Structure 1
């Protein structure tokens, strides 16, 4: 890399690399909350990147322990890296996989190569537009429960206002929606999985040792989560097989998918069972044994996919909603515009969200895109080169991980303008393409074939929730709010987001 003009900070130790220096810089940056509600958060969250890029240029090499990483900033290089051209040459590193193995496993997010291709093919149909329409009623149903809760809190309050911690409510709502859309026929068990999986996630992230009582708690929780998943999966499979047995082959009115259910689990299970049957060997001798092994494999794979979508679906949505409510609570003008749009479309569709109206919610769409730009849940993208590749004029050797500082790119004033650190949804009035100098500078859901398969679901969910809640309530930031974004895998509010909630009075 030096021969190509790319340098970087020298490792401070053989096994630690630059981690100690990075940790010291971040600890100092996070020592205090931000002085004001400023969206200039890159120096706070990525002080190592800011300092090293000023010294060595925007692209440089540093060491994440024993893993060498290339921070890459050139947008054309990033576009080519994330394209289908290098789909099999780049993937998740061993360190990345180990970091989330307990609460994600080998699901789509962490898969590489042919395994990723197969899993993406199986999962993708569950997020087609026609399938998403079936999830709308679940999202509405869960949001109505929040409406009821907030109405009750306001009615019981002696004042016409109540302070709530919006991030807690959005986390619970997103978890409820995931449980409902993934396991509609086993909703309560799905909610229990969500609670245990959330606890497992926190334990895994904060675990500083691979041994001792912490590891025992992780293993115990993991076993409990997987046991619950297996109960639901095998129960759904048995019910589907029983239903199919009661119908003759010439009854084509009902698709096989219908037997498994229209929730995410049912759709994935139907796809996996179909793929297994297509691949079943024609020989009779070992057929039963091989089919049993295939069923065990698909159950394990399906379990990891469910864990993956619990994590990614919940994490992305509750953070998007939390940060969006924070931005709207501090911007009365945009909150008013969003509410007026929501009221208009709800009135036209019988006071309930309709799938066809979602694409016409332009103001809400602009607000959500700007929220994703300023407070993108995933602040970086990381891939490891499994073979030596060439990107433009840049040669990337095998074993080097590529690190894309998404948050820094989203706030770059040379790309977005001098107002890059301001909340200005109008920049997306003509879409992403015209929002900045290069549309590649906006990648909250990654880019290319490995982009987030559930991004349309996340945006649909966010629009429905915002539309319903804005139409009935007003939101203002509490004086107790302390602006302190932090990164714990994802970009989160350290102290939550306390909001003053009131009924909306037309």
Structure 2
């Protein structure tokens, strides 16, 4: 019989032998962990791409909403592409302003088939159109933050990360700091920059018709250059030549971002090293470097008290930011916005300020060419108010251009630059008798609303500026239903800037030229970021008073 010591030795020897014979299965454990992780990821992907969309679709359909069926992760991408191809395959008749079927074919088709409040799919996210003006105002008022702006993250930052993309307290702080730069008295100080750019444009055009012969001009790139120069001068003052390069880069960036938007349903697409993604990143870096240089010079000048041209937007923004930092309140409340924030706002100036006014002026010249009677009435008003002087109009003169204002409003209605706005529910919300679960996108098709005969009457798709004779509030049946600059607390802070610039440009053009459509013009409105003339806007210019 073995002693206790021998027994212990034998047991130890036996355990060691067992351990050597059967080592702990670390590899098997890692495989099990990997399998569990993959299974968890698969369940999450399946929930995101299949179970959740179908559940949200059932909730919406159970309340009477109809629309397209959810079939794949791409949502309605294929249907959208097909309808877009069909819409773009044929131009519109000259003089026709019913642009919604061509500019927003998916939503026009879906609302026609399934009703105004209908469902489409943006990838795996249900998207419900909201067209009743009262409900649109409720969504855009957003008093308690119930409806959030969609977040496109990396893609949006490529274009801008300014006021339009912010939420909550950060948005409120930026709005407080930016608002003073757009007060009326500040805008009056920018009129010389507007006038300088418009004068350069009309003088160049006068050179084209100096021999008394009419001249064909594609006014679309002309207006892009004009408004780009206005933004460069108004935003950066004496640094506007540097600003021109930013304008060129931002214009290219808009085109690339629009292309990328069509592929958002592909997970991780923006992180792939494609040619487009590399170029977007390169443009974003170059724009930021240019802006940092301009901002650093201006901040140094402000600190030293030698700042010049502080009536420009950048100077006003930096000055307002410094005033905010010196104000009363806690350290957190007094904290201003960072240099990166200022860069984001400058990029937004370009994106919103340049594009909106350039498409407005372009479509106004096209529409007035289609309606020479209104061109004549607007010109007569301009000549009555401004006379035949070549001096640029001041603010008081621009404010007396009632017919010009009516024309611009009607063009904004018929050819709304930004055709739609989108919001998203982050918690269950009731709107118009429908209870929307969290995670539903609300599509506000502004262009469709502006053409709705139930809102604007049977002549909704006709050019009738007189509908604005008594102002915006009385122009529609369900008033107000005019949303070219949004609505509520997030109304575009630069709308007065854009309208003053458009009035200045249009008045100086009407004063010097008569114009008509060129035989080369094709009427083809289509949204590419903003609602643009797909094949240009060829106009025949004549020096005023010539046959």
Per-residue deviation, 1:116: 1.5
Match of 2:88 among 30, 34, 42: 30
Q: Corresponding residue for 1:109? A: 164
- Map residues 85-104 of structure 1 onto 2, 5 A cutoff: 85-86=143-144, 88-95=145-152, 97-104=153-160
Per-residue deviation, 1:280: 9.6
Confirm or deny that 1:356 pairs with 2:396. yes
Spell out, residue by residue over 1:304-361, the C-alpha distance to the aligned partner (whole angstroms, 9 max, x if none): 0000111100010000000000011121111111111111111398843010122221
Q: Corresponding residue for 1:67? A: 125
Spell out, residue by residue over 1:213-260, the C-alpha distance to the aligned partner (whole angstroms, 9 max, x if none): 33222222211111110000010000111117xxxxxxxxxxxxx778
Per-residue deviation, 1:58: 0.8
Residues 145-154 or 67-76, more deviating: 67-76
Structure 2 vs 1, CA of residues 307 and 268 (structure 1 numbering), >3 Å: closer, same or farther?
same
Spell out, residue by residue over 1:131-150, the C-alpha distance to the aligned partner (whole angstroms, 9 max, x if none): 11001111001100011111
Q: Corresponding residue for 1:389? A: 429
Secondary structure, aligned partner of 1:176: helix
Q: Corresponding residue for 1:9? A: 68
C-alpha root-mean-square deviation of aligned residues, in Å?
2.2
Given that 2:213 and 2:542 are in contact with CA atoms closer than 8 Å, whether structure 1 keeps it comes out as yes
Confirm or deny that 1:178 pairs with 2:240. no
Spell out, residue by residue over 1:266-302, the C-alpha distance to the aligned partner (whole angstroms, 9 max, x if none): 111112223334489889xxxxxxx9xx78x611000
Given that 1:260 and 1:267 are in contact with CA atoms closer than 8 Å, whether structure 2 keeps it comes out as no
Structure 2 vs 1, CA of residues 332 and 54 (structure 1 numbering), >3 Å: closer, same or farther?
closer
Secondary structure, aligned partner of 1:329: helix
Per-residue deviation, 1:81: 1.5
Distance 1:350 1:474 in 2: 16
Confirm or deny that 1:266 pairs with 2:323. no
- Map residues 192-203 of structure 1 onto 2, 5 A cutoff: 192-203=245-256
- Report the TM-score, using the length of structure 2 for normalisation: 0.83
Structure 2 vs 1, CA of residues 491 and 299 (structure 1 numbering), >3 Å: closer, same or farther?
same
Structure 2 vs 1, CA of residues 282 and 56 (structure 1 numbering), >3 Å: closer, same or farther?
closer
Q: Corresponding residue for 1:401? A: 441
Given that 2:361 and 2:502 are in contact with CA atoms closer than 8 Å, whether structure 1 keeps it comes out as yes
Q: Corresponding residue for 1:495? A: 535
Given that 1:18 and 1:64 are in contact with CA atoms closer than 8 Å, whether structure 2 keeps it comes out as yes
Secondary structure, aligned partner of 1:183: helix
Distance 2:200 2:154 in 1: 37
Spell out, residue by residue over 1:75-101, the C-alpha distance to the aligned partner (whole angstroms, 9 max, x if none): 222221211424x22222123x44432
Confirm or deny that 1:243 pairs with 2:302. no
Structure exhibiting the larger radius of gyration computed from Cα positions:
2
- Report the TM-score, using the length of structure 1 for normalisation: 0.89
Match of 2:222 among 150, 169, 182: 169
Q: Corresponding residue for 1:121? A: 176
Match of 1:214 among 276, 283, 286: 276
Distance 2:533 2:439 in 1: 34
Match of 1:139 among 194, 207, 215: 194
- Map residues 75-474 of structure 1 onto 2, 5 A cutoff: 75-86=133-144, 88-95=145-152, 97-104=153-160, 106-155=161-210, 160-207=213-260, 210=270, 211-243=273-305, 261-278=310-327, 298-347=338-387, 351-474=391-514
Distance 1:167 1:403 in 2: 28
Residues 347-356 or 59-68, more deviating: 347-356
Distance 1:11 1:260 in 2: 55
Structure 1: gaps (5+ residues): 245-257, 284-290
Distance 1:42 1:201 in 2: 22
Distance 1:48 1:203 in 2: 22
Spell out, residue by residue over 1:383-440, the C-alpha distance to the aligned partner (whole angstroms, 9 max, x if none): 1122322335332222211111111111112222222111111111111222220123
Distance 2:69 2:169 in 1: 36
Distance 2:135 2:355 in 1: 28
Match of 1:45 among 87, 92, 103: 103
Structure 2: gaps (5+ residues): 1-59, 264-268
Distance 2:425 2:155 in 1: 18
Given that 1:91 and 1:113 are in contact with CA atoms closer than 8 Å, whether structure 2 keeps it comes out as no
Distance 1:423 1:350 in 2: 30
Structure 2 vs 1, CA of residues 488 and 154 (structure 1 numbering), >3 Å: closer, same or farther?
same
